[in-house]
Structure 1
Amino acid sequence: MLKEVTATRFVTPLREGGSLPGLVEADDLGLYVMKFTGAGQGRKTLVAEVVCGELARALGLRVPRLVTVGLDIGLGLGEPDQQVQELLKSSAGTNLGMDFLSGALGFDPLAFPVSPEEAGRIVWFDALVNNVDRSWRNPNLLVHRGDLWLIDHGATMIWQHNWPTAETSAARPYDAGDHALAPFAPDVAGAAAQLAPLVTADLLAEVTGRIPGVWLADEPGFADPDALRRAYAAPLLARAAVIHDRIEGIK
C-alpha cells in the first residue's frame, strides 16, 4: 500500500498542467504535489499515476515517491481563488500526492544529454503504458540533482476509459516519433531485453494492489476492485512481451 498522509495546508496551485494540481503540506511535514479526484478524468487519472509510477519505480526508473493524501473539505474554505476552492471541495477524501522535488528543473534536451540506454528504457516504458504525453512539446521530465525523473502519467493506459475495447486498444503500436527522447537514439532493443522479463504477473499484482480501493469502486462491468485490478494488469503483461516490435517513429 502507499503511505497515507493528511493534508494540513494548501500552499499554492500549480498552473503548469491542465488538471491544476496543487502543492500541499501534510501531517508528516512533507511537501507534496497533489492531484485531485475532482479534476479532469477524476480517479482514473490517479489510478494511472499509481500503476505507472509504481511500475516504473520497480523497473528502476526515477519517479517521485507516491502517497495518498487525505483531504478534509474544510481545507478549501479559505482559498480565495474560486476555481481552486471548488476543486478542493469536490475532492474531499483520498487523493494522490507525490514528493515535491525542490529545485528540479524542466527537462531541456539542448542542455541535458541523455544516453541511448536511458532514453531506450524510458521510451520502452512509455510504449508499454502507451504514454501519449511525453512529447518534445510537453516532456513531463524533470532534472533533479543531475538525474532525470519521470512525472505525470495520467495520460496513459487509454484503454481504461473503454474496457470493452481494452484488448484491441492495448494491442496497438506506439508512435514515438514525437517522443521527447527520440533524438537521443534510444536503445529500445536493449531496454526490452532488460525490462520485459521483469514485468511479471506477480509484479503487476503487487503494483495494482497499491491502488486505493475507493478509486476502483463501482466500475461498471466489474464485480469488485480486485477484478478491476486484474483488468489493469492483463494488457500490461501481454504488451510487455511484444511492444518493442511495435514502436514506430524512431530509428
Structure 2
Amino acid sequence: MNPIGAQRTLRIGDSVTAFGLQHTVSALDGFTVRLDNLLGGSTVVTLMALFTAPDFTVAGGEDGPVLPPVGLLDAVAEPVLATAQRWERHVVEVETGRLPGADPAEPPRAGFDPAATTLAERERTKDAELRAAGETASLRSLQRMRGRYRAQGLWGLLDQQALRTRSPFGRANERLLAAMAAAIEAETDESTGTRDRLRRRVKARLDAEHGEGVVELPSKATFNRLAAALSRGRHTFDVATTRRSLANRPNRPFTPASPRKAST
C-alpha cells in the first residue's frame, strides 16, 4: 500500500474507471479531459465531472494517490475545504503517528506511536478523541476517510455532494461544458469559425444527446466566457493552420489555467 504523501496529478495514459466504464486518458487540456473507453468510444468531460464521479478510480496506483489539478481546489468553497483539511490531520496522524507538518524530532502523542500501537488501536484512539470533542464522526467514517485519502489525497476528503454543485466554471451545467469541449475539439481540422457557429453546434449536440431544449444554453456573454476558458491555448477562433500545428505537437505536461468564473 502506498505511503501517505506519495501523490501525483492525473496523467495522459492513465487507466481510469468512471461512469460505469474503463477509460484511457488520451488528452488533458485546461479543465477538460478526453477519455477513450474500451468499447471504442471517446468522450470529453470536465475534470470536475470526472473526479466527482461516484465510481472514479485510477488503475495501478504504484505512484500514489492521484490528485486533481490545483485549479480545481481553488474552486472549492472555503468551509468545504476547511472540513477536508481537518480530516486530513486526523487521517495522517492515524496513519503515521504524527500530524501533518509536525517536527519529526518530537515523539508521537500518546496512543499514536506506530512503534507501540497497531493501526486498529490508533483508529480507536482517534475515534474516542473525536467523540470526546463532540464530533459526529464514527469509526466507520474514519476508516472510510482513510481509504479516500489513500486513493485521492485531500480531494478524496472533500464533501462530494458539495463539489457537484460547484465547478471552476461557476454554476455552468456539466453537460453543457462537455458538449462545448467536444465541439471545440472538433474545430481543430475545420475552417476558421466563429463563436456563433460554435454556439449553434453546441445546441445541436445537446439537443441530439439529451433531447431538444433539455439543456439550455446560457446567455451569449456567458457562453463566450465559457468558450474562452475551455479553448485557452487552442486558438479555436484563429486561423485553422495554427490550430492544426498546435494539435500535431507532442503531448506536453499538463499545466492547468484558472478560467474566470461564469454563471448561467
Q: TM-score normalised by the shorter chain: which range applies?
A: under 0.3
Structure number having the greater strand percentage: 1
> TM (normalized to structure 2)?
0.26
Bigger Rg over Cα: 2
> TM (normalized to structure 1)?
0.27
